[in-house]
Amino acid sequence: MSTRKDSSFAQGMFVTLWPKVDHCHNYVETLLAAQKTLQQTVDQLIADLNEAEKAKGSSLIGYADRLRNFPTRVEQIQKRLEKIDERLSLMKKLRESNVPTVPTFPCQEVGDSRGPIVSIRF
């Protein structure tokens, strides 16, 4: 009976949290698209600054250096977003494939009389 309650609780939590997970997944996808557009804009600005630097001299060197470092920061953020997106996609895949959320396993020790081991997966 305890396993049934645990299973119901896990399924209830999953159903309760799923709209937020789906919302976060959509938000991450939007952020990834915005990140790509931002990267293109930064690349264009760097190219424009390099041309302006050649034309005007050294007044824009500091700004150009900061812009050169910006793509590295963008890449780091993009990697984090991709990891989040992978996790959310995995959760979505698990939900769509109807994988049981509460598998049970037989007892490991011969003398163990406590019953099955319960593990909750999301």
Summarize pLDDT for 28-43 with one digit per residue, the tens. 999 999 999 999 999 9
Collect all residues with Cβ–Cβ distance below 8 Å to 5 and sequence separation of at least 6. Answer: none
Whole domain around residue 108: which residue ranges? Answer: 2-118
- Percentage of residues in the chain having pLDDT higher than 70: 75
Work out the average pLDDT over 11-23: 89
Domain count for the chain, please give it.
1
Is the pLDDT score of 118 beyond 50? no
Residue 110 pLDDT greater than 50, yes or no: no
Q: What is the mean pLDDT of residues 74-91?
A: 90
Using only the alpha carbons of the chain, give its radius of gyration: 25
pTM: 0.38
